[in-house]
């Protein structure tokens, strides 16, 4: 049996399955920076992608490409040709995969927009301790994030109370 690759948004309203993954990269273009709200866009080619719960909403980021996202929670999900044929993969957000480790990037693209401090990020100091106030606050944290696997139903009864009206 072939392994399927699953994933979805943070709130669980949109879920997908891909039959196969292709190349993975990080894109430094300004559009990806804005779409992901980060320094780059991590993407992997997905083949045989089907939506198993809900469907993404789309933003036409250019005349050729659209970006899929969850309308409920805003999670970036795809980058794809507007008029995509069956031979064209859907570029999936690596972080939206249930197991993002299966899609380690192997290349960087669009270096013309790479932020000048990007290469030095791994040299930043690491804060290993948090304040007692923050530790106390985190002790009461209850995650409302969808788990990293398919669920029969989501959200559980009473989990979001009014957030998905």
Does 55 fall in a domain?
A: yes
Checking if the pLDDT of 64 tops 70, the result is: yes
d(CA 52, CA 94): 17
pTM of the model: 0.84
pLDDT of residue 148: 76
Does 151 fall in a domain?
A: no
Per residue in 9-55, pLDDT (tens digit) is 999 999 999 999 999 999 999 999 999 999 999 999 999 999 999 99
Residue range of the domain that includes 97: 5-117
Does 130 fall in a domain?
A: no
Does 28 fall in a domain?
A: yes
Looking at residue 56, which CATH number applies to its domain? 2.170.150.70
Mean confidence (pLDDT) of the chain? 88
pLDDT of residue 103: 97
Please tell me what DSSP assigns to residue 32: H
Report whether 75 contacts 11 (CB < 8 A): yes
- Report percent pLDDT > 70 for the chain: 91
What stretches of the chain adopt beta strand conformation (E)?
Answer: 5-8, 15-18, 20-27, 41-47, 50-53, 57-59, 65-69, 76-81, 90-93, 107-109
Backbone angles phi, psi at 50, to 5 degrees: -130, 150
Per residue in 73-113, pLDDT (tens digit) is 999 999 999 988 778 899 999 999 999 999 999 999 999 99
Does 129 fall in a domain?
A: no
């Amino acid at each position: 049996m072939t392994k399927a690759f699953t994933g979805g948004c943070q709130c669980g309203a949109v879920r997908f399955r891909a039959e196969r993954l292709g190349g993975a990269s990080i894109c430094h273009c300004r559009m990806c920076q804005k779409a992901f709200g980060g320094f780059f866009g991590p993407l992997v080619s997905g083949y045989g992608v089907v939506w198993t719960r809900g469907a993404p909403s789309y933003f036409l980021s250019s005349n050729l490409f659209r970006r899929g996202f969850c309308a409920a929670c805003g999670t970036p999900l795809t980058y794809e040709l507007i008029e995509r044929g069956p031979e064209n993969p859907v570029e999936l957000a690596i972080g939206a995969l249930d197991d993002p480790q299966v899609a380690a990037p192997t290349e960087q693209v669009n270096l013309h927009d790479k932020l000048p401090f990007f290469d030095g990020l791994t040299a930043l100091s690491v804060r290993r301790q948090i304040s007692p106030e923050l530790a106390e606050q985190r002790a009461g944290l209850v995650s409302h994030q969808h788990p990293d696997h398919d669920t029969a139903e989501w959200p559980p009864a009473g989990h979001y109370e009014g957030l998905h009206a």
